[in-house]
Amino acid sequence: MSVRGSLVRKEVRSGKLHWVIDFRFRDREEREQRYRRDATLQTAAGARAEAERLYMLAMTTGSVQARGETTTFSTFVDGTFSRLFLPRYRPATRVRYKALLKQGIRDTFGSKRLDSIDTATLRAFVATLQERKVQPRGPANFVRTVLRAAVETGALAAMPAFPPVPRQGRKLPDAPSDEELAAMLTHAGGWLRAAIALAAFAGLRMGEVRALEVRDVDLAGGRILVRRALSEDEVMPPKSGHERVVPLAPELAAAIGGALRDKLPTARLVLNVHGRTPGRTHVLGALKALQRRKALPERSFHALRHYFCSTLVRRGASLEAVRLLAGHGDLHTTQRYVHAGGGDLEAAIAKFSGN
C-alpha cells in the first residue's frame, strides 16, 4: 500500500482561506483512492499534524476510515491510538496511560463499540469512580483523549457529550521546613545528598536531577544549565520544553562538590555506587527510607522543589523570577506559592485590623 501526493493545501472560498487535507493512496486491494476534507483545526500547524497522522493511518492500514460500527475501544487503543497518538506523549505519560487502562478503563470500555459510548455510559463510569473514592478527572480525560483521536481518524463520527467531572480540590504546595531540609542534608550521603540539594536549592524536577551532567554545572560562572530531563529512562527536553539557567546558590555548590569530583564532563552528576543513574523509584525509596530512619515527616521528592519556590517567594523574589527559575509554563502555577507562603494573606489581615 502506498500513499503519494501533497498532504495539505490552501483554498480560498468566498474570500476566506481554508486549509484542506488532500492526498491519494492505495487501499488494501491496491486500488487508488483520494482523501480530501477540510482540516479540523484551521491553522497551518494543526492541518499538517492532522494530515500526517491520517497519512500514516492510510500507509499502515490502507484506509483513513476505521469502521466505527465494528471497532471496539480496545481494538482502537491497541491499534491506531498506540501507533499514531501514544508516541506523541512523554514516556512517563505513556506509562500513566497504560496504567489507567488496567485500572478499570479497559474493563469498562474495552469490548464496547466506539459508537456505543454515549453520555450515559460516561456518566455511569464517573459515578463508579467516585464510589471507589478514585479521582475521576484523570481517567475521564484519558477516555476523552482516545475518543477525540477516534474522531480525528474517522473511527468515530462525532464526540459524545461528556458529563461534568467534579473538580479535584486544589492543594497548597507541600514543602519541608528549613529544619527538616537541614536534617535531610545532614544525614543523607553520596548521590542522595546531591539530589536533595539540586531539588531544594535549584528547583530541579526529579527527571532533571537524574539527567544533569557535570558539564551542566558551571562553577566558575556560578550557574546550572537545565538542558534535559529523564522521563522514565528516555532523555527528553525539560517539561516546559525550554532550557533554563539557574544561578548556583552557595549552599548548593557546597553540597554537590563531591558529586562533581573526578568525573568526565559528560558523566551524570547523580550516580549510585555502581556508577549508574538511580531510577525514579530508587530515588523516592531512598528519600522515604531516610525520612523514616530520622523520624522526619514523609514527603515526596517534588516537595523539595516546592521548598525552593516557596522559599524564594517568602524572601521577596518576584513571581516572574520564580517562574523562570522553576521552569513553570505559566504564572498561574507559580501563584500557588504566594498563598502557600501566606505573606499576602497576613498582609491583607493586617490591613483589615488597621496594623
Residue 340 is predicted with a pLDDT of 59
Domain boundaries, the chain: 1-57, 65-169, 178-299
Quote the pLDDT of residue 1: 40
pLDDT digits (tens, 9 = 90+) for 110-128: 999 998 999 999 999 989 9
Q: Does the pLDDT value for residue 67 go beyond 60?
A: no
pLDDT digits (tens, 9 = 90+) for 77-88: 998 899 888 888
More confident of the two residues 318 and 227: 227
Q: Is pLDDT above 70 for 66?
A: no
Question: How high is the mean pLDDT of the chain?
Answer: 86
What is the torsional sign of CA 124, 125, 131, 135?
Answer: negative
The lowest-confidence range among 43-47, 74-78, 257-261, 281-285 is 43-47
Distance CA(299)–CA(297), nearest Å, equals: 6
Question: pLDDT above 70 covers what percent of the chain?
Answer: 90
Q: What does the pLDDT read at residue 69?
A: 41
Give the confidence band of 170 by pLDDT, cuts at 50, 70, 90. low
Q: Calculate the CA 225 to chain-centre distance.
A: 21
Give the residue, 22 or 286, on which the prediction is more confident. 286
What pTM value is reported for the model? 0.69
Q: Would you say 114 and 76 are in contact if contact means Cβ atoms under 8 Å apart?
A: yes
Pick 75 or 339 by higher pLDDT.
75
Provide DSSP, 164-213. P-PPPPPPPPP---HHHHHHHHHH--HHHHHHHHHHHHH---HHHHHH-B
Q: 68: pLDDT confidence band, cut at 50, 70 and 90?
A: very low
Q: If you average pLDDT over residues 91-103, what whole number do you get?
A: 90
> Alpha helix (H) ranges present in the chain?
44-61, 73-76, 91-100, 106-109, 119-131, 137-153, 178-187, 190-202, 206-211, 250-260, 280-293, 302-314, 319-326, 331-341, 343-353
Q: Which of 85-94, 140-149, 160-169, 214-223 has the lowest mean pLDDT?
A: 160-169
Instruction: Reply yes or no on whether the pLDDT at 60 is more than 90.
Output: no
| Fold assignment, 178-299 | hpI Integrase; Chain A (1.10.443)
CATH 3.40.50.720, domain 65-169, yes or no: no
Mean of the pLDDT values across residues 156-163?
85
Average pLDDT on 123-151 reads 90
Mean predicted confidence (pLDDT) in 61-68:
62
Tell whether the model's pLDDT for residue 323 goes beyond 50.
Answer: yes
d(CA 337, CA 343): 10
Average of per-residue pLDDT across 60-72: 65
Q: Residue 130: its pLDDT value, please?
A: 87
What confidence tens digit (pLDDT) does each residue in 259-298 have? Answer: 999 899 999 999 998 999 999 999 999 999 999 999 999 9
Q: What are phi and psi of 264, to 5 degrees?
A: -70, 155
Instruction: Give the range among 205-209, 278-282, 320-324, 334-338 with minimum mean pLDDT.
Output: 334-338
Confidence at residue 343, expressed as pLDDT on a 0 to 100 scale:
55
